[in-house]
Amino acid sequence: MFALLFALLVSACSSDGVYFSDFRDIDEAGWAKQQSFDFDFADSIVKPESDLVLQLRHDNYYPYRNLYVKIDYFKNGKQVSTSDVNVALADKFGNWYGSGLGGLYQLTVPLRSKVAPGQFDEVTIWHNLRQDTVKNIANIGLALVKNE
């Protein structure tokens, strides 16, 4: 019964216009500054109306309101652009943005709209905080979603 419910939930999400989604787990020991997460888009960007979004999951114990990330875009192994993104995770009163279940919260942040096929084929994400290791971030991911 649980497997059927899960399958229905997953198919419902993919029919909402998600063309591609990929999450990476971050070790419980933390996300080291020199550790990057690479996402391959070589065959994924097929619809010009796709938007690229960052997906982030963190727990209640994340100690900051923000997470700064550096995002590098590559085509054929060469960097074509980079961006620094300030991901606001909570308001000034400490209320988490996004949706949560239990002690885990998920937030989706738009990065690029109307991504054209062939614009890039790989994306690398680094954290860009002053400290060496960031704890309490569970997963980070990228998705291509239908442009509304």
Tokens 């890039």 sit on residue: 120
- C-alpha to C-alpha distance for 97 and 106, rounded to whole angstroms: 8
Q: What is the mean pLDDT of residues 84-106?
A: 93
State percent of the chain over pLDDT 90.
Answer: 67
- C-alpha to C-alpha distance for 67 and 63, rounded to whole angstroms: 10
- C-alpha to C-alpha distance for 119 and 122, rounded to whole angstroms: 10
Q: Which two tokens stand for residue 69?
A: 């990330």
- C-alpha to C-alpha distance for 67 and 70, rounded to whole angstroms: 10
pLDDT (tens digit per residue) in 10-44? 333 444 577 778 899 999 999 999 999 999 987 77
Is this prediction's pTM over 0.85? Answer: no
